[in-house]
Structure formats: C-alpha cells, structure tokens
Structure 1
Amino acid sequence: LGWADTLASKDNTARQYAYARMLGRNGVYTPQAVLNGRSHVNGADLAGINSRLLAMADGGEGLDVPVEARVGGDEIDIKVGAGKGKANVIVVYFDREQMVDVKQGENGGRKIAYWHAVRDVQTIGMWDGKPASFVLPASILDQGKNGGCAVLLQTMKDAETPGAILGAAAVVTGTAAD
C-alpha cells in the first residue's frame, strides 16, 4: 500500500504463510490472530477472538496441557505439564505496544498502535508428553521495557508447517507506551 511495514520480518511472514497453508487458505492478512494453532480471526475483533476461543474449548480444541512461565531473578522458569503426544516448546518474543507512523496508503499520516508485534520466534526444546522444565535468561525480555514472551507448546504438521497449540503461557514486562 505504498509503504514498508516497519514491524515485518521474513521469518514472521514465512510463519504466517505456513499457518495459511495449514488452515487451507491462499493468502494472509493483517491484523490476523491465529487461535490455538487451529483457527484464525481478525486480530482487531476481541469479541470474535473470545467467542471462538470459548467455542474451541467447548469443542475439545482448547489448551489441555498446563504451561507456566515466571520470571525469577535473572531467569525465566518454564514448566510444561503432562499430556499426550509430542510438541515443540516455542518462545515468541513480542513488543507489548508500539506506535508506528504510517507514511502512505489508506492510513497515511496516522499514528497507529500495534499490540503484541512479534520480534522473534525461537524453538527452545521438545516435549514428549512428560512434565518438563526449561530455563532461559531473563535478559532476553529486555527487562523494564515494553515487551514479553509467550511460551507455546505446539505440534508440527511437518518440518515447516505449525499445527495445534496444546498449551501456552505469557510473561509481560514493563508498561504500555505512552
């Protein structure tokens, strides 16, 4: 639309297209919320997101494996409970809120708040259905800044295509930008 998305990255775009393949879609859009790795809705539709998550939980597509993530001192302690199957333990680092000056296009000249924009995605280990623990340095969160991370317990359809999310937790640091 006449300007480069300052929050975009090749890795995030590749992950979004992998979700599109998994969901049987030809294209992607922004803002998009992928729910439990199984469905999607417009990311600006909070009521739709909440409604779909409730329906998914009622239909057996909720988050069934307990995942905890806590900052303690200089560490992030991650605990994954017991369940069935195998999955990757993925950490998604995000900015809680970021203001962007849109230069051109339909929103040209506006300053828009982007929430939970992903900075990086990292697989930190594997889970085999048994309780597991992981430790990361808390410094990766840019303590005191406007960010955090989500820990996802996610199956994979194949080497490049994400599948269902079985459990999740989040750690948020700092405060929202003024």
Structure 2
Amino acid sequence: MSPPAQTSAGSKQDSMKAVLLSIFVLINILATIFFTRKKNIAENGFAVVELFTSEGCSSCPPADDAVAKIDKQYGDQVYVLGYHVDYWDHLGWKDVYSRAAFTERQKKYANHFKLNGIYTPQVIVNGQSEFVGSDKSRLQSEVKKALNENTKGVLELTAKQDGMNKIVIHYKVQNLPQEVLNFAIIELKEQSKVTAGENAGRQLYHVNVVRDFTSVSDSQDQGNVSLDIPAGLSAKDCQVIGFAQNRDNWVINAASKVNIKPESH
C-alpha cells in the first residue's frame, strides 16, 4: 500500500490537470462558437452590385475592372450586374449591350437618391448607397459592410431553357412581404474591340453583362417569370440573378443566382 501522503499529492495533481483540461476545452468551445458565429454572419450577408456603364464612356473601363475583381474576390456572396445604358450611343460608338430599359432603371435610382441627373460609371450596392463606380476603396468598403448584415428573407430560384431563346424562372420567397422581385439574365464574360468614340482602339472586358431584365411588382410566395436570351448566346455562358427589393426604400433584402438548366428532350 502506498503512503497516504503520496496518494494525496497524486490526487491533487490529477485534480489540477482535470481542472486545467476543462478550462482549456471550455476556452476552445467558446472560441469556436464566436468564430463560427462571425463566419455565419458573413456567409449570410450578400451584396448586389449594380453597375451602370457604357462602352462609349472613357471613364467606365476602370469601373468594369473594379467590379470584375469584386466578383472574383467574393464569389457567391456578391451579385454583380452590369447594365449598359444607351445615352452614350450617339457619341461615336453604339454599345451592343445597351438598352433603354437600363437607362430607365438608372433614372429611377437617380430620383430615389435625389440626384441632379444620371452618370457613368455608377455603382449601387444593395439599393442603399450610390457612388462613382471606379472608386475601388468605396466599393470594397460598401461590399464588406453589406456582407456583415443579416439577410432578412429568402429567395430561391431555378432556371430552365424553354425553346431557343426563352428562359423560364421559378421562384419561391420567404419573409419578403413588401418586395419587388427583379430578375436578370447575365452573360458571365464578354469582350469588345471598340473602334470609335472615347474608347476607340481599346479592347474592353466585361463580367455579368445584363442581357435581359424584368421585375414582378405583385409577386406571390412562388411563381414563374420568363426572360429572353439573345440569339446566338448560349445558356451555358449565362446565369440568372434574382433579387428582392423593398418597394418603398429600395433596399435589397435577398438575392440568389443559378445556372440555367438545358432544355430536356
């Protein structure tokens, strides 16, 4: 039998080790909870980055480059949409991606933000902040801010090709009672050789070029909408982006993007 004194000392050492181990485990658990919470907040956040641009505008290529880098940096957390406006088209170069409807959307934003007019390049993040699109530091700041906000609702999408030029989108929404639902077909990558206007002689590169766009004002909890894909453009080179925007304050509260499923035969 071991001496009582030695047994007592060994028990104290074992107890101390157990206490220290418990403290260590508790610290690790608390650290895991903290960092997991931080991670989940970041993953739940999103940033819809709307760029109003034109191939006829010499100030626009730096903005196109800035949003391309943001798109690459953040991946699925960021939803870049490049709207090519048409008010530069009469100044020497006709932007083939431009549409009057995109100019009208920009005008609505100008009215909402009480601006004196419209301009390019302009970026709007989550419908809440607008600034010159080539301001890279402001873009980073606004995107990071958006990614740390909690998502207020859920928008689920599927998209399928129906015929040569039609894309049918099915949507489901949760906790989004006062929202306008916006849907866009985006061409993931594109480039143009500009031969006239302010960017004459330049090769321009674009990401997420909006090729068709529609809004649903009186949406239900689920439904279908359709968009047209331009002739000659393959659905595999495109995605569908959807986002829910408050009809009163224009804040974007949910977003989603999906690949387009090919037509089944």
CA distance in 2, matches of 1:14, 1:137: 20
Q: Where does residue 163 of structure 1 map in the other structure?
A: 250
1:80 to 173, 178, 190: 173
Larger Rg: 2
Report 1 or 2 for greater relative contact order, CA contacts < 8 Å, sequence distance ≥ 6. Answer: 1
Supply the distance in 2 between the matched residues of 1:119 and 1:168 (Cα, whole angstroms): 18
Residues 67 and 23 of structure 1: is their aligned pair in 2 closer, same or farther, counting only changes over 3 Å?
same
CA positional deviation for 1:55: 2.3
More strand by share: 1
How far residue 56 of structure 1 moved from its aligned partner, in angstroms, is 4.2
CA distance in structure 2 between the aligned counterparts of 1:137 and 1:119, rounded to whole angstroms: 13
Gap regions ≥5 residues in structure 1: none
Report whether the alignment pairs 1:120 with 2:212.
Answer: yes
TM-score by length of 1: 0.72
The CA deviation string for residues 142-165 of structure 1, in whole angstroms up to 9 with x for no partner, is 6644222211211234xxxx8222
Matches within 5 A, 1:36-75: 36-44=126-134, 48-56=138-146, 63-71=151-159
Work out whether 1:106 is the aligned partner of 2:194: no
Using the alignment, how far apart are the partners of 1:47 and 1:172 within structure 2?
30
Unpaired runs of at least 5, structure 2: 1-90, 163-167
Amino acid at match of 2:244: L
CA contact (8 A) 2:182 2:215 kept: yes
| Aligned residue pairs, count | 164
CA distance in 2, matches of 1:136, 1:14: 21
Aligned residues of 2:212 and 2:227 also touching (Cα < 8 A):
no
| Equivalence map 1:17-28=2 (5 Å) | 17-28=107-118
**AA in 2 matched with 1:122:** T
Cα distance change on mapping 1:96 and 1:173 into 2, 3 Å: farther
TM-score, normalised to structure 2, is 0.51
Q: Which has the higher helix share?
A: 2
After superposition, the Cα gap between the structure-2 partners of 1:118 and 1:140, relative to the gap in structure 1 and judged at 3 Å, is: closer
How many angstroms apart in 2 are the aligned matches of 1:133 and 1:47?
38
Q: CA RMSD in A?
A: 3.2
